[in-house]
Structures are given as C-alpha cells and as structure tokens.
Copies of this chain bind each other. A is one copy, B any other.
Amino acid sequence: MAKIWIQPGQDALAERYRAVRALTQALAAPLSDADATVQSMPDASPAKWHLAHVSWFFETFVLRDHVEGYRPFDDRFAYLFNSYYEAEGPRHARPMRGMLTRPSLNDVRAYRAHVDAALLAAMPHLPEAACTLVTLGLQHEQQHQELLLTDLQHLFSLNPIAPALFDAPRAMPAPVPGPLHWIEGREGLVEIGDDGKTGFAFDCEGPRHKVFLRPHALAHRPITNGEWIGFIEDGGYHDPALWLSDGWAWVQAEGIEAPLYWQRGEQGWIRFGLDGRQPVNPAAPACHINLYEADAYASWAGARLPTEAEWESAALNIAPTSGEQLDGAACPRPRAAEDGTSLTQMFGDVWEWTGSAYRPYPGFRTAPGAVGEYNGKFMSGQFVLKGGSCATPRGHVRASYRNFFHPHQRWQFTGLRLAKDL
C-alpha cells in the first residue's frame, strides 16, 4: 500500500486536509441538487456520490478504525457509499447510484462537515498508521475531484440545452504550433517506479525496478486538435488498416467519426465542455480520445505510443507541478501547444495514453485488508496513462503516477504524445 511523505507534523496534514476538502466543496458549489444526483452512465458516478464516498473513506478507514467513540453520521451510508471494497461488505450497485435522490446534496454536505469536524478534532492524537490513511484519503479525494469534473461534463453533454457549469476561460491567443520535434529518450537500463522514499505514492507505482530501453524518441508535445482534424479529413476513422481489431469493431459498432463531445458545426468542429459548446481550438491538445483512437492516430502518423517506461524516464527531470492543472473551481481546459526543442506539456493538459497494459510491476504485492483492493484488482484489461491533465489537482501527479482506463473509455481528459524507434 501507499508510502507516506515524512510528515513535518500534524499541522501540515491538517492544513492539507482542509485545502483538499475545501476544493471539493468549491467544485461542487455551482451544482443544483439535481445536477449532483444524476448518473449519466455506469462508468460515471453522481457528484453527490463522489462527495459522500470520499467522506465515507475517511469515516471508515480512519474514524471508525482509529478513533474511539466515533459515531457514524448515518449507519446507512456505509451501504450507499462504499465503492468496490468487498472486504467492507455488501453495497449499493454501481449502475444504480443515480437512484439516490435522498440523501440530498445538503445532507451530504452536512455529512462532510461531520466527518471534517471529527477528523480535525482527532488528528492531533492519530497514530501514524491513521495519518498514513488520512494522506491516502486525500490523494483519493483528489482523484475523485477529477472524476467529479469529467462525470459532470459527461452528464451535461447529454442535455440538449448544453448547460455550462463554469464560465468559459478567457480566450487565449492560440497560434498554430509548428511541426513536432523529436526528443531522444534514454537508452539501455533505466530505473522507473516509486522507491518508497520521497513522498506519497500509490502502491501500484512501485517497486522501483530496472527496464531496458531501446533507442527511441518522444514528440516534444501532444498531438493537437488541428492535427487530429487532419486525421479525420484523411479518412482515419474509415481505414481499418490503422486500427487495432477491437478498436475497429468499436468504430463500426458506434459509428465513431470524431473525439467524444465533438460535433460538426456550420463553421467547423464544435466541442462540448464544462463551459458549454465552443469551437474546437486547433492549437490545443486533442482530448477525449480513447486508446484505440490514440493507437490509430499513431499508426496513421507512422509512429507509435510511448511505453510507460519511456515516458517516465523522460519525465524524471520535469517539474510535476508544471503545465495546466486544476488550481481551483474553474473550467478545466488544455492550453494551446507550444513550439519548443524540449519536452513540453508532459504534466497537465491531457493524460497521455501509453502503449503499456496496466499490470503489476515486478515484485508488487497487494496490501492485506480492504485498502489492498485500492489498485491491484484492476490490473487486467486497462492501459496506463501518464502525466495528469488540466482537471488533475495541481500537486497530485508525479512521474511515477500510473493512471489507468479501459481502451474504449474516453470521457477523461485523454490525449496522446507520439513516440518512435530510432
């Protein structure tokens, strides 16, 4: 399980706790009770459920297990807001999360306040094991902050009146970026993965281990919307030779013609976002594409996706707090790409699909108990994404971070960076 930053003291943890919890509240502030309740698809959860589930995590693994005399806010919530922890007993079926019109959004806010008060009161006395769980809970809540935004975007996209949750960010000047540059990667034996010494990491990020890399290069920036339109106009969605077999079946079955949330307007492509319907910005990174689309684009471009080892070893000297990331309750939106002769936008903007299946690193073992279900049991059928996105809370991501989704999923802020063999 997770390793923890050496705490300079409980005050730092409390401060961090307050900050993370406040951001969640701020993100949910513009929501109506209805906005917060509806589930748009089984993959997504209602905003209210996110708000409650992250609180259940603290309530269960910290307050219930480590704080004597704690009384749960509502005994029924364990059933409602457990996500997938089999060890914690039966729970409400995932595809039915949207049926919970009660408790209300305000009830859930009261639940959050109850947990916050209890946890902050207990924090000075928590044993180290519990502090570790608080830190894990905060990382967990940050993950749900991003999901809350992407799930809301999906929900609102299904409303014909296309509501905007946030104001559109001020239009940024967006010169069309010049061509890709190729940046040579490291070659031979490299070490990747978390070493358990330098701060928090999820269990799946380690152990640190050696990987042998062949000569290769990464593109200096992600593929842009403008380039993606070139792929569309060249018939990319109609040429089976470019696609993985499963990907081509998906394209055919769903009639896919463009990234998620795109539609053709009279004057070009329009995309839906949390700021409503807006013209596609050709300078910004292509977004809301799945692994199949990323792979097909790479085939079309005569390139390939990077492996996670290539990506991580290239990112080691880049500040993980760089790039467009989530700093507050505002509309997440990838910035325009930049020209450059070194790697840009490795962190933030869009999660970058790698060609690596999400599997355990050599020597990985799941932790005992419910928290051991956090990551390990999902290690089949998914691919690794790296680098965070414009919806990732700044400070959350790092080079060793392994995000993962199924190859058909594309409602996250997902894009791609090309790689090639040298």
Q: Which of A's residues lie within 8 Å of B, judged by CB?
A: 32-38, 40, 48, 76, 79-80, 84, 86-87, 92, 96, 98-105, 155-156, 158-161, 163, 189, 209-214, 240-241, 243-248, 291-292, 295, 304, 307, 355-357, 359-360, 362-363, 373, 377-381, 383, 407, 421
The 6 closest A-B pairs by CB, nearest first: A357-B357, A34-B37, A86-B240, A34-B101, A99-B158, A210-B212
Contact A212 B212 (CB under 8 A): yes
6 further A-B contacts with Cβ under 8 Å, apart from A86-B241, A246-B381, are A34-B34, A34-B101, A102-B159, A189-B212, A246-B380, A291-B380
Q: Are A161 and B210 in contact (CB under 8 A)?
A: no
Q: Closest B-chain residue to A86, C-beta based?
A: B240
A75 to chain B, nearest CB (A): 10
**Shortest Cβ distance from A207 into B: residue:** B214
How many copies, total? 4
A–B complex contacts, Cβ < 8 Å, 20 sampled: A32-B102, A34-B38, A34-B48, A38-B98, A38-B99, A96-B158, A100-B159, A103-B161, A209-B212, A210-B212, A211-B212, A214-B362, A241-B373, A243-B377, A244-B380, A245-B380, A307-B362, A357-B357, A381-B381, A381-B407
Alpha-carbon separation in the docked complex, A99 to B151 (Å): 12
- Given contacts A86-B240, A246-B380, A378-B245, whether A101 and B32 have CB atoms under 8 Å apart is yes
Chain B hits for A211, CB < 8 A: 212
B380 near A159 (CB under 8 angstroms)?
no
Contact of B101 with A38 in the complex, beta carbons under 8 Å: yes
A87–B246 Cα gap in the complex (Å)?
A: 16
Q: A134 to B361, alpha carbons, bound, how many Å?
A: 40
Residues of B within 8 A of A356 (CB): 359
Is the pair B247, A380 in contact by a Cβ cutoff of 8 Å?
A: yes
CB distance from A58 to the nearest CB of B (A): 21
Contact between chains at A377 and B244 (CB < 8 Å):
yes
Which partner residue on chain B sits nearest A40 by CB separation?
Answer: B99
- When the two chains form their complex, are residues A76 and B209 in contact, meaning their CB atoms are under 8 A apart? no
Nearest Cβ on chain B to A64's Cβ, whole angstroms: 19
- Name A244's contact: one of B156, B247, B379, B383 (CB within 8 Å): B379
List of B residues within 8 angstroms of A213 by Cβ: 362
Which residues of the partner chain B approach A100 to less than 8 Å between Cβ atoms? 159
**What is the bound-complex CA distance between A378 and B247, given in angstroms?**
10
Q: Kindly list chain B residues whose C-beta atoms are within 8 Å of the C-beta of A381.
A: 246, 381, 407
Assembled-state Cα–Cα distance A378/B360 (Å): 22
In the complex the two chains form, what is the Cα distance from A268 to B288 in whole Å? 46
Q: B33, B101, B304: which contacts A155 (Cβ < 8 A)?
A: B101
- Complex contacts, A33 vs chain B, CB 8 Å: 32-34
Q: Tell me if B155 and A99 are in contact (CB < 8 A).
A: yes
A407 CB contacts on chain B under 8 angstroms: 380-381
Complex CA distance for A110 and B59, rounded to whole angstroms: 41
Inter-chain CA distance A83–B37, complex, in Å, is: 23
B37 contacts A38, CB within 8 Å? yes
Docked-complex contact A161 and B380, CB < 8 angstroms: no
Chain B, residue nearest A96 (CB): B158
- CA distance in complex: A80, B159 (Å): 9
Nearest CB of B to A45, in Å: 14
A363 to B373 CA separation, bound complex (whole angstroms): 35
- Bound: A99/B98 CA distance, A: 10
Query: For residue A163, which residues in chain B have a CB less than 8 angstroms away from its CB?
Result: 101-102
CB distance from A222 to the nearest CB of B (A): 21
Cβ of A218 to closest chain B Cβ, rounded Å: 14
Complex Cα–Cα for A84 and B38 (A): 23
B76 touches A160 (CB 8 A): yes
Closest Cβ of chain B to A403, distance in Å, is: 16
Are A102 and B35 in contact, with the CB atoms below 8 A?
yes
Please measure, in the bound complex, the distance between the C-alpha atom of A189 and the C-alpha atom of B209, giving whole angstroms: 12
Tell me which residues across on chain B come within 8 A of A363, comparing CB atoms. Answer: 214, 421
Whether B80 and A35, one on each chain, are in contact in the complex, defined by CB atoms closer than 8 angstroms, is: no
What's the Cα separation between A213 and B100 when bound, in Å? Answer: 49
